[in-house]
Structure 1
Amino acid sequence: MSRQDFNTDALKRQNRFAFWREAICSTYVELDCESPLRGEKGFHSHLTVEHLGASTLSRIGGSRQSVARRRQDIRKASRNWYLLSLQTRNVSRFSIGDHEELLHTGDLMLYSSSSTYRIDVPNEFEQIVLKIPAEDFEPRVLLHDPQKLHKISGNSPFARLLSDNIKSITANTADQDDRIGSALSDVLLDLIWINLKTTHDHPLEGGTHAQILVQRMRQFIQDNIADADLSRERIAAASGLSVRRLNEILSGDDTSITSVLLEMRLQHARKFLVRPEYQAMSIGEIAFRSGFHSPEHFARRFKQRYQVSPSELRRANSALNRPI
């Protein structure tokens, strides 16, 4: 698995902050970054990034600073991510709107790049951050409200198990191939699910029988995503429901079987468009692998959903993936 290292220590004072801002934006998501120490000799930060298949695991630390995910950043994004921050030194303050949470050493915070948020670190700090593509996260872990902060206390039943695995994987990722990296990412996803399931303040979708059936539906779609003839009737039958009853359940979230199927097909296709290892795959092949009857139909639906064509997204993402 490839590794990237960013460190401001060897740079001239006036160049450190600009370098750091570019480093965190290229590693995580587009953000606004500020520090009262910018331009001063005392500002320093470091970042080490390891790839776990399509996910990344990074160690980050340094001087006091703050980052903010803004609406304009979200509008420009070509892909959604979930991030899990493990505080390993001192304290961070996370906020979305009026909701604030303090993250002490040993605590974890789960949040989505589709939300506006702010992170303030008032002192020297260290974190380990897991970044997971939404198309990998959402079929496995269905949050009741992805737009909120989801804190996992370091004292909760399985937090230590998750934290220890994150630290162990971070320390032992060198010289592992992408298949092992993807498997390790799956392990962490399962542990996140267990922790959220056992944290009463942050229930998962799946707490009721109806929600379990929705999870079953999404898993069936994911398993058969390349089948262009996948019908509402087959999806409902796999969930043990009629089409009418399943649509009634989904209407609580203002969606339907057809809408969920289309959204999952588009997310599946977007995964191929943004990952560097699939750059040689044609857009037509991506369309068929995602269950669309034709490349033209896929391109039309994709642009309606993301306001950008598949080829434009691929070109833009290729530019973003170039090393800084």
Structure 2
Amino acid sequence: MTQEGGGQVGADTFQARSRPAQPFMSSEAGGVPDFCESAIPERGRSPGRRRRTAQLLRSCSAWNAQAGNLLSVSVPMLDSGILRRTAGWWRERGRRMFGEQDFPLIERAGGWEETPVLSEVTSQVRFTGDRSVAQYRAFPLGEVPLSALRFSSMLARRTPALVRQSDPDMYGLCVAVRAKAVFEHAHRNEQLSAGQMLLYDSALPFDAEIDGGRSEACAVVAQFPKKMLPFRERHLSQVVGEVLGKHSAVERLLYRFLVDLGLEGGHCTPHDRVRLQSTVTDLLSTALAGRLDRDEDVPHSTHWRVLFLRATAFIRDHLGRAELDPALVAAAVQVSVRTLNRIFAKHDTAVATFIREQRLERIRTDLATPHLHYLTVHAIAARWGYPEAPAFSRAFRTTFGEPPSEYRRRMHSCPQR
């Protein structure tokens, strides 16, 4: 077995190449892939240790086959503890937290640096800052793998050799949450800062240098199968390697959506994840259509779903404005009020109803919050766009079945858990 540079891989290294989607399990040896036994290092190993290593490899590979995932990993065998923890990481496919606290100090660099190699688009990683600060958290949104990373600074490289070994036919979106990066990809050299994103192609090599500055760097990475995007590759090649994020309202909404998913996505149910896959794919498709000036490639239903997302995001961001109404929302998303009402009707609501419900829900939350006790009921209502006390009291009683002051008294008298 050879490394990217052409040298031989030593006996103290297990390296399995990613291969086309196919069943890993064989009918013999309890469903253990053929490469597992040959991957166990021979030198300096007792029979017992080799047996335990084989069992760990079987466990990893059997889990991976059942999950229907490709295996691409390079794990130093200097201590089987690294492999044992990696096996646990593999098993928790739905929601995985891979923190440096899981490793003894001596294993930290080797353990975390191998983790990104387990993603769909393999890469080489080397830390250049504080190697004790690193966390990798990953979960799938249907067919879209999503990862949230935290580290001090690092270099990441996808070499031509890695591209030849494994090209899963995907586009990746690197989201800089709190970081500065220099990204060289597709004959472009771009600087990426917080609030921006960059699209990359798994079929092309890249070099990235990411620095968190005085604080930790945070990033979110989403990977999309190429078949999910409604564009030809020759069209998308125009934006691969370009910085996204500030060109349009849809790009900004996509950025916020992915950051929120990176923080909270691990708590979603499997059904929610499938739905979120559709949402994030719609947002990316619409954002790219705007960049490419190819709106005709995106289905009409996708445009309407994204318009609904844009409208509801605008409403939530401006609930405190007393003048917020359907006409203001329609102007913000650049459609007529009639079209906007038709879009909301597809979601079994109306624009005015959605605004009222969101306001009342925010007010109810604030009324139940102990540290806001110094604010009067009507002061809280005014914060969320209800400057007139009688109209607010009427709407609150109609929706929740009791006056706002009574609700607040009841919530504050309940024992805090």
Cα offsets for 1:218-250 (capped at 9, x unmatched)? xxxxxxxxxxxxxxxxxxxxxxxxxxxxxxxxx
Select 1:96's aligned residue among 185, 190, 193.
185
String of CA shifts for 1:143-183, please: whole Å, max 9, x gaps: 51448313213353322211222233334434544343222
CA RMSD of the aligned region, Å?
2.6
Q: Is the 8 A contact 1:152 1:196 kept in 2?
A: no
Amino acid at match of 1:136: M
What residue number does 2:160 align with?
71
Aligned-partner Cα distance in 2 for 1:180–1:15? 36
Task: Provide TM-score, normalisation by structure 2.
Answer: 0.44
CA offset digits 1:249-303 (Å, max 9, x no partner) = xxxxxxxxxxxxxxxxxxxxxxxxxxxxxxxxxxxxxxxxxxxxxxxxxxxxxxx
Question: Could you tell me the TM-score, scaled by structure 1's length?
Answer: 0.56
SS of corresponding position for 2:218 = strand
Task: Give the number of the structure with larger relative contact order, counting CA–CA contacts within 8 Å between residues 6 or more apart.
Answer: 1
SS of aligned partner of 1:30: coil
Which deviations, in whole Å up to 9, do the C-alpha atoms of 1:94-143 show, x marking residues without a partner?
Answer: 11265211111110111111111111113341111111223333xx3445
> How do 1:150-169 residues align onto structure 2 when only pairs under 5 Å count?
150-154=242-246, 156-169=248-261
Contact in 1 for aligned 2:96/2:139 (Cα 8 Å): yes
Gap runs ≥5 in structure 2 = 1-92, 300-417
Query: Shift in Å at residue 91 of structure 1?
Result: 0.8
Q: Distance in 2 between matches of 1:181 and 1:47?
A: 19
Contact 1:108 1:154 in 2 (8 A): no
Alignment partners' CA distance in 2, 1:2 and 1:99: 35
User: Is the contact made by 1:9 and 1:44 (CA closer than 8 Å) also made in structure 2?
Assistant: no
User: Structure 2 vs 1, CA of residues 122 and 45 (structure 1 numbering), >3 Å: closer, same or farther?
Assistant: same
Q: Is the 8 A contact 2:121 2:168 kept in 1?
A: no
Q: Which residue of 1 aligns with 2:98?
A: 6
Which of 141, 162, 165 is the matching residue for 1:52?
141
Paired residues of 2:171 and 2:202 also in contact (CA < 8 A): yes
User: Is the alpha carbon distance of 1:151 and 1:16 closer, same or farther for their aligned partners in structure 2, counting shifts above 3 Å?
Assistant: same
Relative to 1, partners in 2 of residues 1:165 and 1:98: Cα closer, same or farther, differing over 3 Å?
Answer: closer
| Higher alpha-carbon Rg | 2
Question: What is the total number of aligned residue pairs between the two structures?
Answer: 202
Mapped to 2, the partners of 1:36 and 1:170 lie a distance apart of 24
Partner of 2:6: none
Percent sequence identity is 18
Structure 1, unaligned runs of 5 or more: 217-324
**Distance apart, 1:44 and its partner CA:** 2.3
Q: Does 1:125 align with 2:195?
A: no
Structure 1 residues 77 and 42, CA, compared in 2 at 3 Å: closer, same or farther?
A: closer
SS state at 1:115 partner: coil
User: Is the contact made by 1:94 and 1:102 (CA closer than 8 Å) also made in structure 2?
Assistant: yes
The 8 Å contact of residues 138 and 147 in structure 2, kept in 1 or not, is answered as: yes
- 1:14 Cα deviation from its structure 2 partner: 3.0
* Match among 195, 204, 228 for residue 287 of structure 2: 195
**Match in the other structure for 1:15:** 107
8 Å contact from structure 2 (residues 167, 202) kept in 1: no
Q: Give the helix-richer structure, 1 or 2.
A: 2
- Evaluate the alpha carbon distance shift between residue 42 and residue 51 of structure 1 in structure 2; reply closer, same or farther with a 3 A threshold: closer
Residues 113, 125 of structure 2: 8 Å contact kept: yes
1:26, CA displacement in angstroms?
A: 0.5
Q: Does residue 1:111 correspond to 2:111, yes or no?
A: no
Structure 1: which 4+ aligned runs deviate by more than 6 Å?
A: none
Check conservation: 1:8, 1:45, Cα contact below 8 A.
yes
The corresponding residue for 1:36 is 128
- Name the SS for the 2:125 alignment partner: strand
Alignment of 1:1-324 (within 5 A): 2-37=94-129, 42-77=131-166, 79-96=168-185, 98-123=187-212, 124-137=216-229, 140-143=230-233, 144-146=235-237, 148-154=240-246, 156-174=248-266, 176-199=268-291, 203=292, 206=294
Q: Is the 8 A contact 2:186 2:241 kept in 1?
A: no
Sort the Cα spacing of 1:17 and 1:82 in 2 relative to 1 into closer, same or farther, 3 A. Answer: same
| Deviation of the 1:189 alpha carbon | 1.2
